[in-house]
Copies of this chain bind each other. A is one copy, B any other.
Amino acid sequence: MRIKLINPNTTGSMTDLIAAAARSVAAPGTEIIAATSRSGPASIECHFDEAMSVVGLIDEIIDAPAADAYVIACFGDPGLLAAREITDAPVFGIAEAAMHAATFVSTGFSVVTTLERTRIITEHLVRNYGMEHQCRRVRATDVPVLELERPESNARATILAECERALVEDQSSAIVLGCAGMADLAAYLEDRLQIPVIDGVAAAVKFAEAIVGMGLKTSKRGDLAPPLPKIYRGKLASYAPGNGLVGSTTSLKAG
């Protein structure tokens, strides 16, 4: 099984970190193809970054060769429903995967994320995924995404301290890590906190294996059907559904 793991920001070193996390949990027969977006923000930390990351993400999904499943490795799950329309291979967001995983091993979790200003993005996801009762709080640490990569930064200690506050103040019994760039922190934190600490990259890879293993594909009835063929203009003309790059309802069979 081939799972394509897409880092929708354009920082290759973060892709390496994410890919390592994915490979460390992948089943024997699973091939992880890690891709870095070629267009857009170096990190995704606001609504604008997120919106501008979608074109680069789509590029990776329509690029050959096709995969059996796709993982969008950014905690805002940018472009998730758009991606699900243009392929019948299952697509997973890491926020979605991490929150679902948390509900299997706890009755209440906290999300610990990076910048305060991204908290609202996560809160919207919590609501759209039906996690309002199970997610007890979203906590920001104000650690910038790319700071997570610098070993000399204080990021690790800051995040641990926020997790500890979550246990006491939110009565949470699990932690969801709110950034793909935290993928390598799960073991470190779990060891210290003695509760499940969930990295969405690992969760998405394993759920991708699970869903593909059940033989399920994205439903092509209703709103996730391939886009209707139509004209696209200007610098995005090549993305027109039905033109060969992007499938459309007349060129792609329902799953």
Instruction: List, in ascending order, chain B residues with CB within 8 A of A96's CB.
Output: 103-104
A224 sits at the interface (CB 8 A): yes
- Kindly state the separation between the CA atoms of A232 and B240 in the bound complex, as whole angstroms: 24
Instruction: Indicate if the CB atoms of A224 and B45 lie closer than 8 Å.
Output: no
User: Which of B58, B211, B218 lies in contact with A51, CB distance below 8 A?
Assistant: B58
CB distance from A144 to the nearest CB of B (A): 8
Assembled-state Cα–Cα distance A240/B39 (Å): 11
With an 8 A cutoff between CB atoms, is A127 at the interface?
A: yes
What class of interface size applies to chain A in its complex with B?
35 or more
Flag whether A120 is at the interface (Cβ < 8 A).
yes
A129 B104 Cβ-Cβ under 8 A: no
CA distance A173 to B196 in the complex (A): 33
Nearest CB of B to A6, in Å: 14
Q: Which residues of chain B come closer than 8 Å to A214, judged between CB atoms? A: 25, 101, 198, 202-203, 206
From residue A7, how far is it (CB to closest CB) to chain B in Å?
Answer: 12
The answer to whether B216 and A198 have CB atoms under 8 Å apart is: yes
Q: Which residues of A contact B (CB under 8 A)?
A: 10, 25, 27-29, 37-43, 45-52, 54-56, 58, 79, 81-82, 84-86, 90, 92, 96, 100-101, 103-108, 116-121, 124, 127-134, 144, 167, 171-174, 194-196, 198, 202-203, 206-207, 209-211, 213-225, 227-228, 230-237, 239-241, 246, 254-255
Interchain residue pairs with CB less than 8 A apart (9): A40-B232, A40-B236, A41-B240, A45-B228, A52-B82, A107-B224, A108-B120, A206-B209, A206-B211
